[in-house]
Chains A and B, each alone.
Chain A
Amino acid sequence: MPFISLLLRSQLRLLIYAPIPFLIARFYPITKITGRSMQPTINPDENQLWHDFALLDRVSMQARANFKRGDIVTLFSPIDPKRFMVKRVIAKEGDIVETLPPYPHPQVCVPEGHVWVEGDDPYHSDDSNTFGPIPAALIEAKVLFIVWPLSRIGSLQTPSVRHLGRLTRGSPEHRAAVAAVEREKWRESRVIPARW
């Protein structure tokens, strides 16, 4: 018994170092992502029986607002401040975007300090096509990569040409990669960047 109490007391002393893991979890949180608006990039399961857990990077967004077109970001909903969304940055300030159906105008110029965000699944997504361009300050963090489930661990970047060449033609992975590349091309074709 005295041994256990001694052990407990020596472990309790370690509690003064609790701020360190808390701060790491604040800078680089791991979050469960729900919802189907980013299918098939995130949560590809049609029935939503399992969800992806992703590692986020708050530092690069909060300290220097460092993001580019095509990045997947988490942001607070402009309609409901408690809600948390995962979307893809389509255009930055000054760009001209071709919008999708729910938006009243066919083309829009993104105003100063704002971004245009969209989900990868345009039919199941509350994005800029419903509420318009949003302030870039709403963006909370960048999604770095998926950490869970184990079968889906990896980066969320669009596969490169070299990666495509390594896959066997016709396999499911190859088809998914080709689809991702085509979606990226379609995305980029709808944006006229502010700086050429």
Chain B
Amino acid sequence: MQSLRKIFLNKYHDLWGRYYHFKSQSRSYQAKVVGKGLLNLFNSYCAAHLFFDYIGRPSYTGGPSMLPTLAVTNDLVIEDRLSLRFTEISRGDLVTVKSPLDPLRIVCKRIIGLPGDVICVDPTGHLAPSTEHVIVPRGHVWLSGDNFSYSRDSRRYGPVPIALIQGKIRPLRDFTIYRNPVTLAHFEQESIRPAAKGTIL
């Protein structure tokens, strides 16, 4: 026990002592220690990058386009990339998407329509007449911000390829589990049921 304590103190307690010990060593030993430290640092950077790319990452939201759901600034959310590989996207999901207008921008929007759905372009009638409807083409989704009056979304640039979707959003605010608020009650009539996924229209 005594010896363990001695080792621990030697290693972490006396930092000045460690520094002078390091200084007194030969150049080759110093280079070895520094190189190994840098390698470990680079390795942990690589591991973090891979984790953020494939599994998920925390990030802050910005901008007023999702206003009632996500705050204008500094709303901490989790961007979930893993579940996108194993589960299907559905209407009402919050997703992060690479912007079709600027490839370096990542925007957060809500999925309104899946391939084959008939969508009213703009229910508010500002950007298009509210009677105009379109069919979402194969491999695309219809996106919309929650704040209709201040959002650049599919009303502006049309349906967006599914390949642009980066991840699903899991908001952390108030520590509640995010629920999908879209109800599909009016799809119960067989006649207006949306076309099956992957149907060529």
Contact = CB atoms under 8 A, between A and B. Distances in A.
Nearest to B54: A26
Given A26-B53, A78-B139, A20 B164 contact: no
A134 B161 contact: yes
Nearest to A139: B103
B77 interface: no
B43 interface: yes
Contacts of A114: 100
A113 B99 contact: yes
B71 interface: no
A113 B53 contact: no
Q: Which of A77, A78, A80 has the most CB of B within 10 A?
A: A78
Contact of B163 (A16, A19, A22, A81): A81
Interface in A21-50: 22-23, 26
Contacts of A153: none
Interface stretch (B6-14, B23-31, B44-52, B58-66): B44-52
- The interface residues of chain A, by DSSP majority, are classed as mixed
B162 interface: yes
B177 interface: no
B128 to A, nearest CB: 17
A145 interface: no
A135 B99 CA distance: 8
Contacts of B140: 78
B101 interface: yes
B103 A76 contact: no
B98 interface: yes
Interface string B57-100: 00000000000000000000000000000000000000000111
B103 A65 contact: yes
Interface of A: 16-17, 19-20, 22-23, 26, 64-65, 76-81, 112-114, 134-139
